[in-house]
Amino acid sequence: MVDHLVNTEINSQRIAAVEHCFGASGQPLAVPGRVLLGEGILTKECRKKAKPRIFFLFNDLLVYGTIVINKRKYSSQHIIPLNEVTLETLPDTLQMKNRWMIKTSKKSFVVSAQPPTEHAAPWIPDKATDICMRCTQTKFSTLTRRHHCRKCGFVVCGECSRQKFLMPRLSPKPLRVCNLCYKQLMAEKKNTEEHRSQARPSDSPLVGYDPSSGDDSDRSDEDKLEQWPADTEFYTSEVPWSSFHR
């Protein structure tokens, strides 16, 4: 695979795209013989909480960073030569699946590739309804704005979408959700926390490594930007909108 891609235009374009996403704060990545083999989001276990991080696997490097806008902007670039990396498979916990420790002589940290349970909801177009799809009372106008619930994609009024909820696989910032989805998400969170409190001893943090890894684990994500991609898929169906009113 490396021999096939090494001198191709597509490989050069992919590496240039990664450099562009990290911007001036990142290191140059395009060197002769380097091939980008894959990329993806992994969950990195940090001191305060697990956080999504973007990872890029090259034929000679492992590069990762903080997601500001997925596929648009990354920060806090870290570069690890592959010849310094060893992997150790770890047991699953109640919260994290498919875990392993990335170990080097300078630092070690744990990541997981749990299958996503959160998916971006297709947004219902603004023009599809003139009233809030939750309360069915508020009529939209120039002064009464439409909003979208990031969980269900419904068009809702401000009164029916006062809450925000953190969905890490969608954004590093809490996102606007409708009142109904907020109640459901809070119930799920409470259930998860109850399971966590009953976790087995083997679910405790590993002895012998600092989950902070001394880099970006304690940095606040509140100043990160939020942007929905221009190619967001919209809801299409023959089902009448009245069937969605609750």
* CA–CA separation, 202 and 242 (whole Å): 49
* CA–CA separation, 175 and 53 (whole Å): 18
- Tell me: pLDDT of 18 over 60: yes
Say what the pTM is.
0.52
β-pairing verdict for 50-58 and 99-103: unpaired
* CA–CA separation, 196 and 201 (whole Å): 11
Q: Is 128 strand, coil or helix?
A: helix
Token pair 């490097």 in the structure block, residue: 61
Model confidence at 6, pLDDT cuts 50, 70, 90, reads confident
Q: What is the pLDDT of residues 140-199, one digit of tens each?
A: 999 999 999 999 889 999 999 999 999 887 888 899 999 999 999 999 888 878 776 765
* Contact predicate 52/43, CB 8 Å: yes
* Contact predicate 85/104, CB 8 Å: yes
Q: What is the pLDDT of residues 41-78, one digit of tens each?
A: 999 998 888 899 999 999 999 999 999 988 899 999 99
